[in-house]
Amino acid sequence: MLETLTVADAVELAVVERSGFVESRHAGAAIVLSPDGDVVRTLGNPDALILPRSSLKPLQAVACVTAGADLTGVELAMSTASHTGTDRHADVVREILTAGGLTEDDLACPPAWPGDTRSRDELVREHGQPARIRMNCSGKHAAMLRACVATGWPTAGYLDAAHPLQLHIREVVERLTGEKIAHTSVDGCGAPVHAITLAGLARGIHRIGTASERSPFALHRVAGTLVRAVKENPWTIQGPGTADTIAIETLGVFTKGGAEGIMVMVAPNGATVALKMLDGSSRASTIVAATLLARAGALSDADIATLTAALPLAVHGGGSDVGTIRPGADI
């Protein structure tokens, strides 16, 4: 059976401090690329296989558009989101579906309550129910359906790994990462998720994050447009008060977290980091990724201070802040 990095492949990436006592440690692996895409630093084993989870969404979104999904602006940003299911998010997903002659019933992701607490509470008060459009991956699924409609592929079974859309996505993932997919699993939303190395994920995200909208290559033009759409609409990518949205708003980075402790981040100058927390926790991923970019000279200490203040990194005790989640000493 294939597997991700082991404990021996990992190094300490973050610690949790409570009242002057280090209570927990997060180990994992990370890789940092220069603006030109050269490897400038590795921690742990970046050649170990990982499932990118939602950090694969930028590659999947590019594939959907190159397959014919006509998405721009906020709709394009939503295609790569892991949103919190607010009314605003749901409205954009509906617009994507409606423009393709589709409905919420065409979505194959599982029904879910909004991740946003206020939105969920309002839905409960209104006697609402979990809905596919509220599921955090519904934007990606709507983009997949639009690609099928544009190309004439069947919308039924669009999540099957052998479906023409998924075969196209697989090809795009291999082109952008520069490596063959080692294994295909089923993601939480039901879509295929492909096992690649952490280094391969970093390469793919770097190519997207540094792509030019004026490139002679369609794949790169789409990628450049996607990055601009996300930076112009950071609320789409996750939601108010969430790590990805905060990082984009405060630092101007392109970032995308994934389940099980996956994080990718591209600085404005193109420097890129990809990391995997071995224990699957994401609570330290954003600050660790940004700090690694700062250590590489791509962000400033002031940037890190601003981000630290904005992220929910405080450790609480008795109703007060008694500690913090912070990068490990060797970061």
The reply to whether 144 falls in a domain is yes
The C-alpha atoms of residue 210 and residue 310 are separated, in whole angstroms, by 26
The reply to whether 318 falls in a domain is no
The C-alpha atoms of residue 184 and residue 56 are separated, in whole angstroms, by 13
The C-alpha atoms of residue 142 and residue 93 are separated, in whole angstroms, by 7
Residue 164 CB partners (closer than 8 Å, separation 6+): 151, 153
The reply to whether 328 falls in a domain is no
The C-alpha atoms of residue 80 and residue 24 are separated, in whole angstroms, by 32
Going by the DSSP 8-state scheme, the letter that residue 146 receives in this structure is H
- pLDDT tens digits, 72-89: 999 999 999 999 999 999
Q: Name the amino acid, one letter, at 161.
A: A
How many other CB atoms are there within 10 angstroms of residue 218's CB atom? 11
Residues in a beta bridge with 216: none
The reply to whether 320 falls in a domain is no
End-to-end CA distance of the chain: 32
The C-alpha atoms of residue 288 and residue 257 are separated, in whole angstroms, by 12
The reply to whether 230 falls in a domain is yes
The reply to whether 33 falls in a domain is no
Give strand ranges (E) for the chain. Answer: 11-18, 21-33, 39-43, 49-50, 183-186, 192-197, 254-258, 262-266, 272-277, 314-317, 320-327
The C-alpha atoms of residue 172 and residue 175 are separated, in whole angstroms, by 5
The reply to whether 228 falls in a domain is yes
**Domain residue limits at 207:** 49-274
The C-alpha atoms of residue 257 and residue 54 are separated, in whole angstroms, by 6
Report residues of the chain scoring pLDDT below 70.
none
The reply to whether 14 falls in a domain is no
**Taken in order 123, 127, 133, 135, is the CA torsion positive or negative?**
positive
**Number of domains present in the structure of the chain:** 1
pLDDT at 1: 85
The alpha carbon of residue 76 and the mean position of all alpha carbons in its chain are separated, in whole angstroms, by: 14
